[in-house]
Amino acid sequence: MQSNGYLMVFFWLLVLGLLTYVLLQRSVSRITRTPVWLLWLVMMLPALILTAWVMVNGGEESPPTALLVGLLVACPMLYWALIQKGRIALPQGVKAEGEDNQPTVPLPPKPALRPIDKDEEAMLQGCFPWSVYYLQNIEYRPQAMICRGQLRATPSVAYDTVRENIRRHFGDRFLVLFQEGLQGKPVFALVPNPQAEGGAKSQAQTRPGLALGLLLVTLFTTTAVGTYLAGVTEAQLQETPTLIFSGLPYAVSLLIILGCHEMGHYLTARRYGMQVTLPYFIPVPFFLGTLGAFIQMKSPVPNRRALFDVGIAGPLAGLVVAVPLLLWGLAQSTVVAIPETGSSLLNFEALDPKASLMLTLMSKLVLGSAVAADQAIQLHPVAIAGCLGLVVTALNLMPVGQLDGGHIVHAMYGQRIGGIVGQVARLLVFGLALVHPELMIWAILLFFIPAADQPALNDVSELDDRRDFLGLLALTLLVMIVLPAPGILTRLLY
């Protein structure tokens, strides 16, 4: 039994290691010469040391708090120092981390910007009507042209006018960015359009065969896990193979929740004319049967409104499906005593509903007086899928970097404030992980996800009141899912 536990630990350590390496390869390999394997080792050091501690002590003794704090302080500092030591010099005019003197330009690695001649410069100046954006100077950089001036119209009108003028004179040669400058003055930047010569390649973004294949494999792995969750033993399955279908309620429910989440992103992105892949599921043969699903955006986000809508569409679409399934699953679940070893948010055989404010309210709504303060819930497989839907929604709503919550906060408050919120969120999640140890891996990963989100093309125009309200509602849902029920509420309900 203990060996099975060690195998599971090694499996999740392997998964964490692969995810960490992919994250590093995609996020920091282009900004530093420090070897990726060395950065990976620093990132994985807390998990490796804590795993060794558990194996040596047999899980009977918790790691010292000083060790935990030391690892989570020293490793991020060492990680940052290694990146800075090998940092690649950015092209002049591109904002480095912590600087505000230039706009953040998401420059493609190629092609290099061709210098414009005098006639083209005069043509470019004519693209900025004085009544919309009074152009004062143009700064030429290796891969960008920075156009500074005075904004004389609303940001949306200014951006749309200038973009259309540049498109009329220069075609699709440039991407036009509009961002906040040093004193809050909006600045235009023109960068090479990597899709200008993409042609058919830019259209071949979806791979339906791959998406369908991954979906079918994930359906199989989640069905196998669902069979186990339904209480079917291996001996029973060998004797009656048709019992495999008892895992379908869990599998179908979970895939619908994850699929709706990603399709919310996909359909919203397509509505804004963005190029995006179909949802790709990630199958695994253990634990939950899947590591979730993802889509990839292949074109820039046009504005903060689009960034907000794409970011919030996934969590809301997933919750619309997850909440009814969870309510139905709770009605089919069984109330049990809290085990002596304790309960947690991810202990589906004895889930303590008080570990989450939202779960507390939903369990009391469905089960009423049948569940007491000293009792837990043995979840029905459909309820497990619904509970995982809440967890996935909460993790994606974390307001950090390119997570859904990071997109939402960036769109609401701007890139700079969004980055500050991301830094604070990392610390808060770490504090929450001390209460919910099962979230510690996620808390560690958040420290290595860039806190600031990539800017939209028009990163100046603000949201309307309706979207601001929806953003605050989404962050409220995040708090309700991840925070335990307060004592005063539990005394009133139980």
Q: What pLDDT is recorded for position 100?
A: 41
What pLDDT score does 373 carry?
Answer: 80
Average pLDDT over residues 470-477: 93
**118-196 is a CATH 1.10.630.10 domain:** no
How much of the chain, in percent, has pLDDT values that exceed 90? Answer: 28
Mean pLDDT calculated for residue range 201-223: 79
The pLDDT of 370-392, averaged and rounded, is: 89
To 5 degrees, how large is the angle CA 24–CA 307–CA 471?
105
Model pLDDT, residue 318: 94
pLDDT value of position 166: 92
Least confident of 174-188, 216-230, 404-418, 439-453: 439-453
Q: Is the pLDDT of residue 1 over 50?
A: no
Answer whether residue 2 shows pLDDT above 60.
Answer: no
Instruction: Please tell me the distance from the alpha carbon of residue 120 to that of residue 450, in angstroms, as a whole number.
Output: 38
Contact 339, 350 (CB under 8 A): yes
pLDDT of residue 307: 94
pLDDT tens by residue, 83-126 = 777 766 544 334 433 344 444 444 444 455 556 778 888 888 88
Is the pLDDT at 424 greater than 90? The verdict is: no
As a whole number, mean pLDDT of residues 383-410 equals 90
Predicted confidence at residue 94, as pLDDT, reads: 40
- Which of 89-103, 184-198, 371-385, 447-461 tops mean pLDDT? 371-385
- 111 prior amide bond cis, ω within 30: yes
Question: Which tokens go with 459?
Answer: 């990163």
Contacts of 190 (CB under 8 A, 6+ apart): 113, 124, 144, 145, 147, 166, 174, 175, 176, 177
What does pLDDT average to over the chain?
80
pLDDT category, 188, cuts 50, 70, 90?
very high
Q: What is the pLDDT of residue 415?
A: 84
C-alpha closest to that of 385 among 241, 215, 225, 213: 225
Rounded average pLDDT over 371-400: 89
* Span 248-307, pLDDT tens digits: 999 999 999 999 999 999 999 999 988 888 898 988 776 788 878 888 888 889 999 999
Tell me how far apart the alpha carbons of residues 136 and 482 are, in angstroms, rounded to a whole number.
Answer: 50
Which pLDDT value is given to residue 355? 84
For residue 178, the model assigns a pLDDT of 92
Distance CA 20, CA 245 (A): 35
Q: How confident is the model at residue 442 (pLDDT cuts 50, 70, 90)?
A: confident
**pLDDT at position 471, please?**
93
Q: What is the pLDDT of residues 312-341, one digit of tens each?
A: 999 999 999 999 999 999 999 988 888 776
The more confident residue out of 448 and 342 is 448
Lowest-pLDDT range of 274-288, 418-432, 447-461: 447-461
SS3 labels along the chain: CHHHHHHHHHHHHHHHHHHHHHHHHHHCCCCECCCHHHHHHHHHHHHHHHHHHHHHHCCCCCCCHHHHHHHHHHHHHHHHHHHHHCECCCCCCCCCCCCCCCCCCCCCCCCCCCCCCHHHHHHHHCCCCCCCEEEEEEEECCCCEEEEEEECCCHHHHHHHHHHHHHHHHCCCEEEEEEECCCCCEEEEEEECCCCCCCHHHHCCCCHHHHHHHHHHHHHHHHHHHHHHCCCCHHHHHHCHHHHHHHHHHHHHHHHHHHHHHHHHHHHHHHCCCCECCCEEEECCCCCCEEEEECCECCCCCEHHHHHHHHHHHHHHHHHHHHHHHHHHHHCCEEEECCCCCCCCCCCCCECHHHCHHHHHHHHHHHHHHCCCCEEEECCHHHHHHHHHHHHHHHHCCCCCCCHHHHHHHHHHCHHHHHHHHHHHHHHHHHHHHHCHHHHHHHHHHCCCCCCCCCCCECCCCCCHHHHHHHHHHHHHHHHHHCCCCHHHHHHHC
**Residue bearing the bigger pLDDT, 74 or 350:** 350
Give the C-alpha separation, 36 to 29, whole Å: 7
| 24-33, 164-173, 207-216, 300-309, range with the lowest pLDDT | 24-33
Are 158 and 132 within 8 A, CB to CB? yes
Residue 231: count other Cβ atoms within 10 Å of its Cβ. 10
